[in-house]
Structure 1
Amino acid sequence: MDALSTEIWQSTALTIELASVTTVILLVVGAPLAWWLARSKTILAEVIATIIALPLVLPPTALGFCVLILLGPNGPGGLLASFWGERTLAFTFAGIVVGSVLSALPLVVQPIRGAFVTMGNRPLEDAVTRRASPLDAFFTTALPLAGPECLKAAVLGFAHTIGTFGVVMMIGGNIPGRTKVVSAYVLDYVQTSRWREASWLAGGMVMFAFAVILTLTLIDKFYGRRSA
């Protein structure tokens, strides 16, 4: 196995690790956040929902630059990194996790919030009659009912992170073995006129995207039949 192949396999492992960690954080943070947004009637909730949605319209490089400043030596990330003797969270795995979470957060929060809104108050009222606390009602009633959307959100969050490039490039700097994700190699191959390798890698990503969309469709069909 040549050095380039080894780098690609390392980058693939790094990308899968990044997507897995990001997806777990997205669900742990996104589901309670979506629940609060769905239940809150304040203007603050809509302001926060708008902030969460910004990555949907912001260019990835602009989002990456903003996060880079926050993670840099003069931002909160630099302060946090100082606790273990570092100057910055930029150009680290932790930094690209933060960027990936912020980039994919609206893809997770919005569908789960929609599921909670559609659910209405009746299931929660039933939970209250069983003397369930608000926390119990969330975990035993609301979250299971929103299960299909949570599953779809997890798939979307994972897939989005696999394909993320602009944000990761700005925050991580494409350091081989540390922050360079698989999608970066497509650009590398094109820039060096290695069209065959670029075609194979891009083709693999197209197949992955097809599998993700098919998975989401099957999830809808499966849960649609169960609820029918």
Structure 2
Amino acid sequence: MMPDIDLEPFILSFKLAGITTLVLFFVALPVAWWLSQTKCRCKPLVEAVTSMPIVLPPSVLGFYILWALSGNSPVGAFFEEYFGVRLVFSFSGLVVASILYSFPFMVQPLQSGFESLAKNMLEAAYLGGKSKIVTLFRVALPNIKPSLITALIITFAHTVGEFGVVLMVGGSIPGETKVASVAIYEFVEIMDYETAHIYSAIMVLMSFAVLLGVYSFNYRHNRRIGIGR
């Protein structure tokens, strides 16, 4: 008999991923643009800092985010005192944690896309009187569509699949912080492998669909501009 599937963890996962992706686009965009254009000596340092979530164990990153957002830290205490927002074990805290953890997955594809642009295209925009902001949105972004789509979709998918940081910062509160990855972990803990299989299969199919969409888009784009023929 097929077990009942609670869709709430998936809905919560998609909601978290959607908000995180939207916020990260506007936060990471200027960082990626600056990294692609700057000749500052501190560029390697900034790149190293922005890439740290890729190499840090989720438990380590989750611990420091948990500490930073708790009421014992200046940040957590500030939000609790002035806004009445408790960041740990709450959806708001998950959003903050996801933004920090998924940051490089938005920055790096955008940076690579900007760096691939022909320099004369940007120089022509500047000579035409366009400001850097106008050049970014009117010239650069429209010409890096594959990188932009990759950044958005990979960030979304990575946030949906995150487990360690989410569990550390949010715990498992039904309807608040219990996302799909946490639900799978709990089913395995209670040895409900049948339900864990179903939830995991949904995640596998979703991940495959996301990657297939990205690669298909890039393939069609490259075919249109004559790359890889």
Q: What TM-score does the superposition give when structure 2 sets the normalisation length?
A: 0.92
- Among candidates 55, 58, 67, match of residue 57 of structure 1: 55
Residue 12 of structure 1, CA deviation: 1.8
Q: CA RMSD in A?
A: 1.5
CA distance in 2, matches of 1:191, 1:32: 42
Residue 158 of structure 1, CA deviation: 0.5
Show CA shifts across 1:133-182 (max 9, x none): 11111111111112221111100000001101110111111111111101
- Among candidates 129, 132, 135, match of residue 130 of structure 2: 132
- Whether 1:145 aligns to 2:154 is no
CA distance in 2, matches of 1:198, 1:226: 42
CA distance in 1, matches of 2:32, 2:88: 28
Conserved 8 A contact 1:78-1:89? no
CA distance in 2, matches of 1:191, 1:98: 27
Q: What is aligned with 2:81?
A: 82
Q: What is aligned with 1:203?
A: 201
Listed as ranges, the gaps of 5+ residues in structure 1 are none
Amino acid of the residue matched to residue 109 of structure 1? V
Listed as ranges, the gaps of 5+ residues in structure 2 are none
CA distance in 2, matches of 1:222, 1:29: 29
Question: 1:42 is paired with a residue of what secondary structure?
Answer: coil
- Whether 1:157 aligns to 2:155 is yes
After the TM superposition, which parts of structure 1 deviate over 3 Å for at least 4 consecutive aligned residues? none
Q: What TM-score does the superposition give when structure 1 sets the normalisation length?
A: 0.93
Residue 106 of structure 1, CA deviation: 0.8
Question: 2:7 is paired with a residue of what secondary structure?
Answer: helix
Conserved 8 A contact 1:37-1:46? no
Question: 1:184 is paired with a residue of what secondary structure?
Answer: helix
Show CA shifts across 1:75-120 (max 9, x none): 213212321234x411111110111111111111111101111114
Matches within 5 A, 1:157-196: 157-196=155-194
Residue 5 of structure 1, CA deviation: 4.9
Question: 1:43 is paired with a residue of what secondary structure?
Answer: coil
CA distance in 2, matches of 1:222, 1:169: 38
Show CA shifts across 1:54-82 (max 9, x none): 11111111111111111111321321232
Question: 1:85 is paired with a residue of what secondary structure?
Answer: coil
Conserved 8 A contact 1:16-1:162? yes
Question: 2:174 is paired with a residue of what secondary structure?
Answer: coil
Question: 2:42 is paired with a residue of what secondary structure?
Answer: helix
Question: 1:174 is paired with a residue of what secondary structure?
Answer: coil
Q: What is aligned with 1:73?
A: 71
Conserved 8 A contact 2:31-2:107? yes
Conserved 8 A contact 1:152-1:219? no
